[in-house]
Amino acid sequence: MTAPSATATADQLSRSEPVRVRRRHRHGVGHVVGRVLLYLMLAALLIPVLFPVYYVFVGTLMESRELSTFPPRLLPTGVNFENIQGALAAVPLLRMYTNSLVMAGIITVCQLVTSALAAYAFVFLRFRGSAVVFALFLSTLMVPAEATFIPNYLTLTGWGLGNTYAGLVLPFLAYAFGTFLLRQSFRQFPRELYDAARIDGMGHLRFLWTILMPLSKPALTAVGMYVFITSWNMYFWPLIITRSTEMQTLQIGLNSLKAGEAANPGLVLAGAALSVIPTLALVIFGQRFIVRGLTAGAVK
Amino acid sequence: MTHGSVTERRAASPPSPKPSNKRARPGRDAILAWGFLGPSVAVFALFLVYPLGRTVYLSMHGNDIIGQPNRFVGLSHFAEMASPEFGRILLTTLVFTLGVVVPGVVGALVVVLLLEGVLRAQRFLRGAFALPFAFSVASASVIFAVFYSPGNSVLNGVLYRMGLDQVPWLTSQEMALWSVALTTVWMNLGYGVLVLAAGVGSIPKEVNEAARIDGATGPRLAWDVTIPMLGPQLFFLIVISTINALQSFGQIHILTAGGPVGSTTTLVYSIYQDAFAYGTSDFGRASAQALVLLVVVLVCTVVQFGVIERKVHYS
């Protein structure tokens, strides 16, 4: 995939060269000044936006002595891993990493299943009140999660599920946003294919599992990435439902690291850098899917 | 893993008689439909609908020190809200929301409009602006905590190099809320850029070409054509940012814990403090505030649906 797109870019570059030169002649000096201004403004915005991204990784690799000088150094003099080792020793980050992965993984898989089943019912099954039920589904999106946390906390601790994986994931196993997005995608599915499969005697679940799901991969990926990132980043719920460090998620661990190591910013930055690598990879390599998921409500 | 086994077990259970039969009986579809909706409905009923009822119940009860409701107090939790303390919490919430939404939306708009003028590397630059989206609330907050820390503040170091005065980022009552808002604006910018860039991408090419033929370029094109065409996306972004800002929690918990002297205690943070933060749990008071939050968010969402409905009908 990389090779063809690279050649395409090279092609475009060589082709666009003469065009650019001609344009510059046509618009003269004013145009050049405009372009320079444009790039200056973009740089003025991009530098503060990227600085924290830059500094979290550079600061992680700095020595504590470099980090504690004032004014602080912005360029590293060397590479050292003492902050990463220190962060791993101060807080059980690897255990918390696992907790976050397990939690976000279970929530993502379960939401994909519950959303796909519900979306299938709305698109392919006829039943009374379908439209009303769908409207009720959508109305659940209006409720801020924070308004349900107190009763959910009481329910789950009452069941003895405080400080467990079950307690972390149970309230989030279904979410109407996924149903909404998958419904949009399932509606694009050619009706004739569905009819053909049904006439051939294929059951609903087999059709959903062997034909519809594989053909809906882009939508499933979009929903999955969205759900994974949001649950990986959850803060309020894991903070209240977990008690022991062994059950806490990475995000809560970052706060413990910050609270406990205030005098040692290197460890805090190292923890943040480690925590952000998976989502950074998703944003860099899966941006088109994320855009699909995020902007589904914004673009018709 | 769970996925596969659940589905296969279910797949095996419904026998498949003659297909013609199946299509002729809508009642069968209905039973199956409720089976498919079942898991979602169960989660919503247990963790969304029931909690809302219980929140109403709790909000009208006083409780003992560990939060067990022990007496009916009617609406007195709501009556207590007519106090300067709660007024301050609402005002803080409002200022914080404005301080996040206005710069966030304007910033994203400026970035997207500037990117429109870029001929080369547009996608790359957009991706660079979207990077903060990868940062969780907690990671962004601890990074900014390092930036703001009084000891070796990175931001104050930059200001010092530029010959500017030091700023008491989190230690002054006037400044702390803005510092938390700045962190939030940074975290949200990537999302705004992605939403608006998708909107710009959906503007028909003919519209831009027609405007260019009419001689509109640069800022004129942006002001007269692009911004009006982005109406729906801008509106969506404003509503979503407002709802998110109202629900902000992690950055306040990590950066200021509501202080100094309550200057960053928003509605959500106040709910947390009353219900979970100290040794005592005042679930009654917290639930009453949770209902206020619910109403505020509902109003924002209803406004959004109302306007979008109108747009759909008009177009």
pLDDT digits (tens, 9 = 90+) for B222-236: 777 788 888 888 888
Distance from CA of residue A139 to its chain's centroid? 23
Domain with CATH 1.10.3720.10 in chain A: 95-260
Q: Which residue of A has its CA nearest to B254?
A: A255
Q: Does B239 touch chain A (CB under 8 A)?
A: no
A255: closest CA of chain B, how far (Å)? 6
Mean pLDDT over A105-121 rounds to 96
Assigned token pair, B310 = 């109108």
Mean pLDDT over A168-175 rounds to 96
pLDDT at A295: 62
pLDDT at B311: 59
A296: closest CA of chain B, how far (Å)? 9
Whole-number Å distance between alpha carbons of B120 and A98: 41
Whole-number Å distance between alpha carbons of A109 and A113: 6
Q: Among A175-184, B20-29, B199-208, which is the least confidently predicted range?
A: B20-29
Q: Name the range with the highest mean pLDDT among A23-37, A62-76, A207-221.
A: A207-221
CB A279 within 8 A of CB A230: no
Q: Out of A42, A117, A147, name the one closest to residue B39 (CB).
A: A117
Listed residue (A117, A152, A116) closest to B49, CA to CA: A152
SS3 assignment, position B71? strand
pLDDT at B26: 61
Residues in B closer than 8 angstroms to A141, CB to CB, are 301
Distance between the two ends of chain A, CA-based, in angstroms? 29
pLDDT at B7: 37
Q: Do A115 and B40 touch (CB under 8 A)?
A: yes
pLDDT at A2: 37
Task: Band the pLDDT of A297: cuts 50, 70, 90.
Answer: low
Q: Which residue of B has its CA nearest to A20?
A: B119
CATH fold of A95-260 reads MetI-like fold (1.10.3720)
List Cβ neighbours of A107 (8 Å cut-off, separation of 6 or more). A169, A172, A173, A227, A228, A231
Longest dimension (CA), chain B: 83
Q: Out of A206, A251, A284, name the one closest to residue B138 (CB).
A: A251
| In the predicted structure, residue B15 carries a pLDDT above the cut 60 | no
Q: Which residue of A has its CA nearest to B46?
A: A171
pLDDT at B152: 65
Whole-number average pLDDT of chain B: 83
Any idea where the domains of chain B sit in the sequence?
2-59, 82-314
Count how many pairs of residues, chain A against chain B, have C-beta atoms within 8 Å.
327
Write the pLDDT tens digit of every residue in A145-154: 999 999 999 9
Write the pLDDT tens digit of every residue in B41-84: 999 999 999 999 999 999 998 887 777 787 888 888 888 888 88
Q: Do A52 and B144 touch (CB under 8 A)?
A: yes
pLDDT at B20: 44
Determine the residue among B29, B36, B293 to mutate to test chain A binding: the one whose Cβ has the most chain A Cβ atoms within 10 Å: B36
Write the pLDDT tens digit of every residue in A212-257: 998 888 889 888 988 998 899 899 999 999 999 999 999 999 999 9
Listed residue (B268, B136, B138, B183) closest to A259, CA to CA: B138
Provide the percentage of residues in chain B whose pLDDT is more than 90. Answer: 40
Provide the percentage of residues in chain A whose pLDDT is more than 90. Answer: 44
CATH superfamily of this structure's domain B82-314: MetI-like (1.10.3720.10)
pLDDT at B11: 39
A244: closest CA of chain B, how far (Å)? 16
Q: Name the range with the highest mean pLDDT among A202-206, A250-254, B149-153, B191-195.
A: A250-254
Q: How many CB atoms lie within 10 A of CB B235?
A: 17
- Scanning chain A, the segments in alpha helix (DSSP H) are 2-60, 64-67, 82-90, 93-124, 130-139, 149-158, 165-169, 176-187, 191-199, 204-207, 213-215, 217-232, 236-241, 250-260, 265-285, 287-294
- A-contacting residues of B 26-85, CB under 8 Å? 26, 29-30, 32-34, 36-37, 39-40, 42-44, 46-48, 50-52, 54-55, 58, 67
| In the predicted structure, residue B203 carries a pLDDT above the cut 50 | yes
Whole-number average pLDDT of chain A: 84
Write the pLDDT tens digit of every residue in A262-287: 778 889 999 999 999 988 888 888 77
Whole-number Å distance between alpha carbons of A235 and A255: 10
